């Protein structure tokens, strides 16, 4: 019987694949039969993966990318097609936090950095991949890692919150625009996940203190990255064939209150 959650024969790019949700997703996508371009700002983190997972070495290609750099992002899409002959799934997962800085204290460079990485990086990759999908004429899937901070305030600082709202906006816009061509665009909205992201080096602890009552609502505690990988793999698979423009919260119930 055909299992629709299988990713057998699919080619996927995963950004931020060197750590956390992206790394767990790379492993799960590979174990479901996908070929994966594992892209990250830290090349050593993705170059290590084929040694770590020798059973998948043939199906994984590391790629060094700063998603804030348009040329590098476009080269990443070309690389997947050159290496594996096609691209089926783009998982824009790389992202950075903003130190929990409230709007009145945000500085211009921190604002720009959050948007360069979390928003522009996603747009550059979506634009190039969507044009490739259109040219190929066989559809395609974009999964974007947003956040519960893309749906609600009080989960991060203003820059991160605004950037993840933009990710959801881009996802919905493109989902509607390209549904007729069989291109699905969906977002994943994690709550707290145990990864290396942290709250940022110079986190604004005043803001963090203000958030604490909200954090207490995270009654399910923080997730493991593997739990988010399961949600991402579902969204990327044919099992989600009619899921388009949706935001899947995977937050243990945090935003249900
Ligand atoms: N951890 C959480 O609690 C949480 C909650 C909601 C959303 N998210 C989102 O999940 C995604 C993955 O984060 P994570 O928690 O796994 O964090 P992580 O820090 O463990 O992993 C993120 C990876 O992205 C890479 N990266 C950072 N900037 C990059 C850039 N400019 N170009 C390419 N790669 C870059 C990092 O090197 C790292 O390997 C992010 O988009 C984050 O905003 C995380």
Strand segments (E) across 197-250: 247-250
Strand partners, 250: 190
Using a 6 Å cutoff on CB, does residue 94 contact ligand 1? yes
Using a 6 Å cutoff on CB, does residue 65 contact ligand 1? yes
Residue 200 has a pLDDT of 75
Separation CA 98–CA 79 (nearest Å): 30
- From first to last of its 257 residues, the chain has per-residue pLDDT tens of 567 999 999 999 999 999 999 999 999 999 999 999 999 999 999 999 999 999 999 999 999 999 999 999 999 999 999 999 999 999 999 999 999 999 999 999 999 999 999 999 999 999 999 999 999 999 999 999 999 999 999 999 999 999 999 999 999 999 999 999 999 999 999 999 999 998 877 788 888 888 888 888 888 899 999 999 999 999 999 999 999 999 999 999 999 98
The total of other beta-carbon atoms located within 10 Å of residue 23's CB is 26
The total of other beta-carbon atoms located within 10 Å of residue 69's CB is 16
Residue 2 has a pLDDT of 63
Using a 6 Å cutoff on CB, does residue 25 contact ligand 1? no
Task: Among 18, 20, 149, say which to mutate for ligand 1: greatest number of ligand atoms within 8 Å of CB.
Answer: 20
Q: Measure 67 CA to ligand 1 centroid, in angstroms.
A: 11
Sheet strand arrangement including 35-40: 60-64, 35-40, 11-15, 89-92, 140-145, 183-190, 247-250
The predicted model scores a pTM of 0.98
Q: Which atom belonging to ligand 1 lies closest to the Cα atom of 192?
A: 3
The dihedral over CA atoms of 45, 49, 50, 56, expressed in degrees to the nearest 10, equals -150
Using a 6 Å cutoff on CB, does residue 140 contact ligand 1? no
Q: Measure 117 CA to ligand 1 centroid, in angstroms.
A: 10
Using a 6 Å cutoff on CB, does residue 193 contact ligand 1? yes
In order of their start, the domains of the chain are 11-256 (3.40.50.720)
Q: Measure 79 CA to ligand 1 centroid, in angstroms.
A: 22
Both structure tokens of 68: 């804030």
- Which amino acids are annotated catalytic? 160
Q: Measure 85 CA to ligand 1 centroid, in angstroms.
A: 27
- As a whole number of Å, the end-to-end CA separation of the chain is 40
Residue 12: φ, ψ to 5°? -125, 145
Using a 6 Å cutoff on CB, does residue 15 contact ligand 1? yes
């Amino acid at each position: 019987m055909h299992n629709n959650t299988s990713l057998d024969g699919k080619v996927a790019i995963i950004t931020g694949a060197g750590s956390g949700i992206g790394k767990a997703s790379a492993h799960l996508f590979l174990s479901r039969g996908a070929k994966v371009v594992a892209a990250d700002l830290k090349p050593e983190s993705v170059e290590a993966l084929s040694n770590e997972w020798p059973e998948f070495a043939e199906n994984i290609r590391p790629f060094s990318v700063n998603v804030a750099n348009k040329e590098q992002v476009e080269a990443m899409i070309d690389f997947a097609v050159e290496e594996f002959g096609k691209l089926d799934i783009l998982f824009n997962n790389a992202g950075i936090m903003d130190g929990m800085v409230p709007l009145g204290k945000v500085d211009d460079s921190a604002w720009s950095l959050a948007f360069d990485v979390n928003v522009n990086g996603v747009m550059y990759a979506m634009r190039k991949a969507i044009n490739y999908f259109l040219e190929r004429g066989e559809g395609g899937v974009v999964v974007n890692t947003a956040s519960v901070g893309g749906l609600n305030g009080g989960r991060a600082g203003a820059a991160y919150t605004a950037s993840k709202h933009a990710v959801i906006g881009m996802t919905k816009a493109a989902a509607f625009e390209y549904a007729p061509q069989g291109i699905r665009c969906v977002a994943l909205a994690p709550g707290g996940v145990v990864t290396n992201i942290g709250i940022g080096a110079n986190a604004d602890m005043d803001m963090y203190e203000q958030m604490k009552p909200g954090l207490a609502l995270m009654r399910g505690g923080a997730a493991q990255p593997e739990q988010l990988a399961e949600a991402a793999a579902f969204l990327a698979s044919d099992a989600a064939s009619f899921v388009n423009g949706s935001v899947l919260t995977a937050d243990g119930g945090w935003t249900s209150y």
